[in-house]
Amino acid sequence: MTSLPETTAPASAVIDTTTAKFRQDVLTASMDQLVLVDFWAPWCGPCKQLAPLLEKVVLESGGKVRLVKLNIDEHPQIPGQLGIQSIPAVIAFKGGQPVDGFMGAVPESQIKAFIEKHAGPVGPSPLEAMMEEAHALHEAGDATGASTLYGMVLQEQPDHVGALLGMAKLHLEEEDLEGARGFMAQIPEDKHTDPQVSVVQAAIDLKEQSAALGDLTEIEARVAANPQDHQARFDLALALAAHHQEDRATDELIEIVRRDRTWNDDGARKQLLQFFEVWGAMDDRSKAGRRKLSTVIFR
């Protein structure tokens, strides 16, 4: 069994600072580790591009680097003293002194090279390395191994979104909707709008809808008895998707679009788009479905 390495990035690896706290957060802290100061402002587009890349590489450094963010609009004194004239600007501090820096929204590879120049090689944090292994096991069909690793990550970080989503997916694949919902409920509220969270929630919602429809044969009989019963055909599509007959599910929804695009406020097309979201935009089922849908819409 994989054991959790002891070295992890500290909770304070990424912080915001002020003029009053700059000495403690940057100068004093840089006596023990490399500190990067990100000078930014809310109106700065390139700053928004750079920030997530900076945070990612810093968190992957396993505690070698600290990232301190300073809003120059609220705290102009420090950047003025350092001669910062344009942003984004990143200054590296070591031993209480600025030692290097760069400006502009540079790519992740350049950020990593900059950090390694002053702090040595960096890589994924121990938790993220474990997440990568868990994802690989999940993809390979080893649900037990993946579950064990996701659980170990959650022991260290109970609100780790990736691990919670991984556990929710495993339970969903086992048709355990209650278990899947339980892990989704532990995801922090401010993460509920993240695309990955939305996709898993959509998959759970789809399973719940399908479970309430009843026997597949009965729904097929309803459609056969009245091909114009769009609700029956819609229900059939949901049931087929739940039984992993995605191509047939796609065809039934497209048939509704072909017969009556306005039915249920374009509900068939909207449901098909939800299928694509759950399956993944680059999934072969989604790509084939989009081609079929385009043929009907733009005929």
Active site (catalytic) residues? 44, 47
Phi then psi for 101, rounded to 5 degrees? Answer: -175, 170
Phi, psi of 12 (to 5 degrees): -95, 25
Query: Exposed e or buried b for every residue in 50-80, given b needs 16+ CB within 10 A?
Result: bbebbebbbbbbbbbbbbbbbbbeebeebbe
List residues bridging with 94 in a β-sheet. Answer: 97
Q: Where are the beta strands (DSSP E) in 135-271?
A: none
| Residue 218 CB contacts under 8 Å (≥ 6 apart), including other chains | none
- Tell me if residue 125 falls in helix, strand or coil: coil
CA distances (Å), origin 236, targets 61, 183, 204, 253, 260: 50, 29, 18, 9, 17
> What is the distance between the alpha carbons of residues 291 and 271, in angstroms, rounded to a whole number?
16
For residue 219, the number of C-alpha atoms closer than 13 Å in the C-beta half-sphere is 20
